[in-house]
Amino acid sequence: MLKPLVVVSFLALSLSLAVLVIPAEASTKEVLYVAGPQASSTVMLYTYSVDPTTAAATQVGSAINVASGSLVPLSIGTSHYLYLWSKIWVWLYQMDADGAPLGLSQFVAFSFSHPVNTFLIDPNGKFAYAALGWPDYEGSANSIILFTIDQSTGKLTNTNEVVASYSNEYTGFRNFSFAQQGGKLFGEYDDAGPYTDIIGYDYYSVDQTTGRLGALQNMFYAQTGECQTGCVVAVTDLLSAVDGVCCGPPSGNVVVTLSSTGQQILCPPNDTFCTDDVANLAIDPANANVFFGDSTASETYILNVDFSAGQLTPSSSTIPGTPPTYFSPDSQLVYAVNQNDIGIYTLQTATGTLTANTTLPDSGQVSIATASFEK
């Protein structure tokens, strides 16, 4: 039986999104937040300082009992904050110089008529957004509400201004995220229309002065066709710093194409780079490496993208299994959330090589968040 074709189309967003590789410096502190176990009456929040050279994680401060594991870190100058949110409220914690919580400084109860499915902070530290989602007579609807942030305290003020709204019979947004530099708010959507199976990302431009959002724009998507073979990943000259999903199994052979040169890497079954069922696709914030989780091989492979030379180069490094992968904001570290531990890897962005790794045990399902800031 033929396998379906999955096509992922990428749209170059802006020529200003040049590849940025930030060298590791002694003055940069890498912080990992781990909250879990999820779906438990007692969720503990742990803070770790991570060495960007050895990948060793050291707990800082004391673990605290929190009401939610949905985490959003923010640094404003030398001040550090952590927002924990749920469908109905958000807590703000002030953090010390090591990123460990000092104490609760604000509690905001949402008074919206629909639940919040994503709460997120613009990296510029000026604005926050509550994205609401609900079913309506057309199928699926979303609204995004603007909050402002006090730059001296991190505290939130609800403007009650709806800066975006969306409704569609078949398509609904299920998650939102920011590009690392802010300026664009990405929405992950699921299109379940007739004869259609699409998962993709659109985006809103963000006015960095007012916080208001521009018109919704296309970014990239994965579409499954019928009676086709193969999986095609088209990589444009510029990638966005967000996670995406590609080629959910079953798919077929994988062909990776760099649009600027037409260079292709074919990944047939038993190939040393990857086989045929790509479970997920993640892109580092430096826009230099694409991580493919291959469900057939149960391995995550790394493809380095050199835009200046127009080259795609498979890295010699891999990550066991197909766990969700996350990155430090400066792309120095990669985190793999496994069933029983968190793998921590140092990443050389210029080559896609993992040079050191450690594991951090966890006692169940956890969520993580990362931060990079000056010591």
Q: What is the pLDDT of residues 232-244, one digit of tens each?
A: 555 544 444 444 4
pLDDT of residue 134: 77
pLDDT of residue 194: 65
Measured distance CA(257)–CA(255) in Å, rounded: 6
Contact predicate 108/114, CB 8 Å: no
User: N- to C-terminal Cα distance for the chain?
Assistant: 57
pLDDT tens figures, 296-354: 778 888 888 776 676 778 888 999 998 989 999 889 999 999 989 999 999 999 999 99
Strand 57-59 to strand 231-235: parallel, antiparallel, or no bridges (unpaired)? unpaired
Low-confidence stretches of the chain (pLDDT < 50) are 1-26, 224-231, 236-253, 268-270, 275-276
CATH 3.40.50 at 6-13+24-374, yes or no: no
Contact predicate 278/294, CB 8 Å: yes
Q: How many CB atoms lie within 10 A of CB 18?
A: 10
Measured distance CA(33)–CA(72) in Å, rounded: 10
Strand 254-258 to strand 231-235: parallel, antiparallel, or no bridges (unpaired)? parallel
pLDDT of residue 229: 43
List beta partners, residue 91: 84, 107
Measured distance CA(273)–CA(302) in Å, rounded: 9
pLDDT tens figures, 154-185: 999 999 999 988 876 666 777 788 866 778 88
Contact predicate 259/36, CB 8 Å: no
The one-letter code for the residue type at 90 is: V
pLDDT of residue 153: 96
| Domain boundaries, given as residue ranges, for the chain | 6-13+24-374
Measured distance CA(54)–CA(293) in Å, rounded: 24
Which of 119, 115, 125, 133 lies closest to 181, judged by CA? Answer: 125
Q: What pTM value is reported for the model? A: 0.79
